[in-house]
């Protein structure tokens, strides 16, 4: 969407606060021995407290309030009673929701407990790349140039980007134009970021794979060559200068 008045900005701020606070509290709540279903129920309670509704459930009938992916799962992981979190697991939580007709999206990867498997380096790379990408987004900037920046920063660190996942416009629905805000330069993409537009900008930084493939459950995605992936995501408003980070409250880049 493009924000054209104060009411729209307030609406986006409210739903962004709901998803950002929920993500922050879920990350703080997660601990070894807990199931992903336990964690999802906790997040569901927070969203309900805001009067917000799960975006993946509303849009796609996703079997959970939030997407929780563990270790080799890259994204869209289904919360279950069978998946028990372990010390050192790489976790990704993606929280998106609708509130009063507005939609926002955010996510973050983190290591639970002690980093006994050495995942923190990947997490920090993803954070740094998202921070740099957001700092370089403003009206008129080529979308493909931000993708190029993200892939270049990943390669500097000996990492890869997932080429079939991307950020997207958001606001009046979960996925809007501009779609396919990719983590690499698509040389056929001549689009530019537009001032006042709302986008969910996200990283997909991986150790071994360059594509995400869907498992038989119809939701969970893993790498085509295995390995791990970290994702961090903010909903932002594009301006003439630094973007307004609507989901700043999640503190994923702290």
Residue-wise pLDDT tens digits, 199-233? 999 999 999 999 999 999 999 999 999 999 999 99
Q: Which CATH class is domain 6-250?
A: alpha beta
> Which residues carry a binding-site annotation for a divalent metal cation?
94, 105, 168, 202, 233
Burial 137-158 (b: 16+ CB within 10 A, else e): beeeeebbebbbbbbebbeeee
How high is the pLDDT of residue 113?
95
pTM of the shown model: 0.97
Mean pLDDT of 61-74: 97
Per-residue confidence band for 14, with pLDDT thresholds at 50, 70 and 90: very high
> How many whole angstroms separate alpha carbon 129 and alpha carbon 193?
18
Mean pLDDT of 141-167: 98
Mean pLDDT of 155-170: 98
> Which residues carry a binding-site annotation?
76, 94, 105, 168, 175, 202, 233
CB 119 within 8 A of CB 111: yes
How high is the pLDDT of residue 223?
98
Average pLDDT value over all residues in the chain = 97
The percentage of the chain sitting over the pLDDT mark of 70, rounded to a whole number, equals 100
> Which residues carry a binding-site annotation for substrate?
76, 175
For the chain, give the DSSP string: -B--SHHHHHHHHHHHHHHHHHHHHHHHH--TT-BHHHHHHHHHHHHHHHT-EEHHHHHH--SSSSEEEETTEEE-PPP-SS-B--TT-EEEEEEEEEETTEEEEEEEEEE-SS-TTS-HHHHHHHHHHHHHHHHT--TT-BHHHHHHHHHHHHHHTT-EE-TT-EEEE-SSSSSEEEEEEESS--TT---B--TTBEEEEE--EESS-SSEEE-TTSS-EEETT---EE-EEEEEE--SSSPEETTGGG-TT-
CB 77 within 8 A of CB 92: yes
Per-residue confidence band for 79, with pLDDT thresholds at 50, 70 and 90: very high
Mean pLDDT of 173-178: 96
């Amino acid at each position: 969407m493009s924000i054209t008045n104060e009411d729209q900005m307030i609406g986006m701020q409210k739903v962004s606060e709901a998803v950002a606070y929920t993500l922050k509290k879920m990350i703080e709540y997660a601990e070894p021995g807990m199931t992903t279903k336990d964690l999802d129920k906790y997040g569901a309670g927070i969203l309900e407290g805001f009067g917000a509704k799960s975006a993946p459930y509303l849009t796609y009938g996703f079997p959970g309030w939030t997407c929780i992916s563990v270790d080799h799962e890259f994204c869209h992981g289904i919360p279950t009673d069978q998946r028990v979190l372990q010390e050192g697991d790489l976790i990704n939580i993606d929280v998106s929701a609708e509130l009063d007709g507005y939609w926002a999206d955010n996510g973050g990867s983190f290591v639970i407990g002690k980093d006994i498997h050495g995942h923190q380096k990947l997490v920090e790379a993803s954070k740094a790349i998202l921070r740099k990408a957001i700092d370089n987004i403003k009206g008129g900037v080529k979308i493909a140039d931000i993708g190029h920046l993200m892939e270049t920063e990943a390669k500097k660190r000996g990492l890869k980007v997932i080429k079939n996942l991307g950020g997207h416009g958001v606001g009046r629905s979960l996925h809007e134009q501009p779609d396919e805000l990719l983590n690499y330069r698509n040389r056929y993409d001549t689009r530019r970021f537009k001032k006042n537009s709302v986008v969910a900008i996200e990283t997909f930084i991986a150790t071994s794979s360059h594509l995400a493939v869907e498992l038989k459950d119809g939701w969970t995605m893993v790498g085509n060559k295995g390995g791990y992936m970290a994702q961090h995501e903010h909903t932002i408003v594009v301006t003439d200068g630094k973007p307004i980070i609507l989901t700043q409250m999640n503190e994923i880049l702290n």
